[in-house]
Amino acid sequence: MSEAYDELFSVWLPGSGQEPGDAPLFETYLNSAQDTPPDQLQTEIHLKLKD
């Protein structure tokens, strides 16, 4: 997950022209580590942006 956060904050956010909003980040797990191989796990990172 650290690579995804690095990409989000080092590449996407600066290039987007957006700014983070005043809300905490959160993650949504789309499958389960109990029955999914590590290389197939999927997670959404939610970042509120300023209006």
Q: Is residue 51 part of a domain?
A: no
Q: Is residue 26 part of a domain?
A: yes
Q: What is the pLDDT of residue 51?
A: 86
* Cβ atoms of residues 12 and 45 within 8 Å: no
- pLDDT, tens only, 28-48: 999 999 999 999 999 999 999
Q: Is residue 32 part of a domain?
A: yes
pTM for the predicted model, two decimal places: 0.82
Q: Is residue 42 part of a domain?
A: yes
The sign one gets for the Cα dihedral 41, 28, 24, 45 is: positive
C-alpha radius of gyration, the chain, whole number:
13
